[in-house]
Amino acid sequence: MASQGVWRTILYHWRQPYRYYFGAKSNLWKQTCFSSKKQPFCSTSPDKTIEQNTALAQQKNFLASLIEMIPAGITAAYIHKGHDTTHGGGEMVLDVPHDKTVPVLRFLRDHSSCLYDCFIDCTAADFPQKPQRFRVVYNLLSLKYSSRIRVQTHVDEVTPIESATCLFKGANWPEREVWDLFGVFFYNHPDLRRILTDYGFEGHPLRKDFPLSGYVEVRYDDTEKRVVIEPVEITQEYRAFDYTSPWEVFPEGGNFKEAEKLPERV
């Protein structure tokens, strides 16, 4: 009996506020705004129309306010996948210069209208045709405003970025991963060493110019009784493709010597 009261109080405190958005039928089709789940820089207002109060518009307003507040830190701000109106808004992306990553992240973490204090991920992407080939991406989440944001920088192989570990302890291993797999150096990182590649591995595997099979292969050598590292030679039997049939053709009786003969050129 007492537990029932406990459950009720828990549910009462946990209740979600009723949202007066698209689902709510109202006689006058007017927007009323009592939601306590605010978007950052709560830009909803009873005076605005429904269209202006959508999540997408709020995100646009938020990015505009950010640009006003930290103009030196942002080179570009856009909304990715914003055309998808069914999901109510796209993904906010900020482009920052490579030396301004930590100030911008600190602003986003600490400012009372942003509060992106949850570090989600640090990754990179390689665009070898660009002079600044690596795009280093930080993803953040604001639990207070239930909003996500992405912070991007572009660097080349030799430019270092300041590590975000001074702000987010969770950035430690993701930055190690970016260093190991791409070669982007993070200064002021407490412990920047390899995390996924083998001990003594040379190269950065996720770069676009690193081949899929790698440069070295590892095998156990019986004469030396240990594992040796050699340049890669992937052996594969010669396979003859008969394009008239969807299945690979094998000779009957399992006589594979016949299949190994080169096909006659037509």
Partner 1 sequence: MIPSSRGRLLKWLFHRKLSSFKSLKGEANENRMKIDGYSGAYFIVNNVEVRSSILLLPHTGYLWRPQTFAEVTPHSFTLFRLLFPKLDVLIVGGGRMTPHLSEENYRQLSSVCQAFELLKTEDACSLFNLMNEEGRHVGAALIRAGF
> In the complex, what is the shortest distance from the CB of residue 229 to partner 1, in angstroms, rounded to a whole number?
5
> In the complex, what is the shortest distance from the CB of residue 201 to partner 1, in angstroms, rounded to a whole number?
7
Alpha helical stretches, state H, the chain: 2-14, 55-69, 101-110, 172-182, 256-259
Task: Kindly determine how many residues on this chain lie close enough to bind partner 1 according to the rule CB under 8 A.
Answer: 14
Q: Which stretch binds partner 1 (CB under 8 A): 36-44, 155-163, 197-205, 246-254?
A: 197-205
Q: Which stretch binds partner 1 (CB under 8 A): 124-132, 155-163, 173-181, 200-208?
A: 200-208
User: Would you give the end-to-end CA distance of the chain in angstroms?
Assistant: 88
Binding residue (CB under 8 A) for partner 1 from 13, 219, 226, 257 = 226
224 binds partner 1 (CB under 8 A): yes
CA distance 99 to 174: 19
Q: Which stretch binds partner 1 (CB under 8 A): 30-38, 173-181, 191-199, 254-262?
A: 191-199
Looking at the Cβ atoms of 193 and 261, the one nearer to partner 1 is 193
192 binds partner 1 (CB under 8 A): yes
> In the complex, what is the shortest distance from the CB of residue 36 to partner 1, in angstroms, rounded to a whole number?
48
> In the complex, what is the shortest distance from the CB of residue 37 to partner 1, in angstroms, rounded to a whole number?
45
Q: φ, ψ for residue 95 (rounded to 5)? A: -100, 125
Binding residue (CB under 8 A) for partner 1 from 191, 217, 242, 258 = 191
SS3 state at 51? helix
Give the Å distances, CA to CA, from 36 to 12, 14, 88, 91, 180: 15, 13, 17, 21, 43
CA distance 79 to 252: 60
227 binds partner 1 (CB under 8 A): yes
Q: Which stretch binds partner 1 (CB under 8 A): 68-76, 111-119, 171-179, 185-193?
A: 185-193
At CB < 8 A and 24+ separation, what contacts does 80-88 make?
80/150, 82/56, 85/54, 85/56, 88/54, 88/55, 88/56
* Residue pair 121/149 in contact by the 8 Å Cβ criterion: no
CA distance 175 to 87: 31
178 binds partner 1 (CB under 8 A): no
Q: φ, ψ for residue 256 (rounded to 5)? A: -80, -15
Q: Which stretch binds partner 1 (CB under 8 A): 27-35, 69-77, 130-138, 192-200?
A: 192-200
Residues that bind partner 1 (CB under 8 A): 191-194, 198-202, 224, 226-229
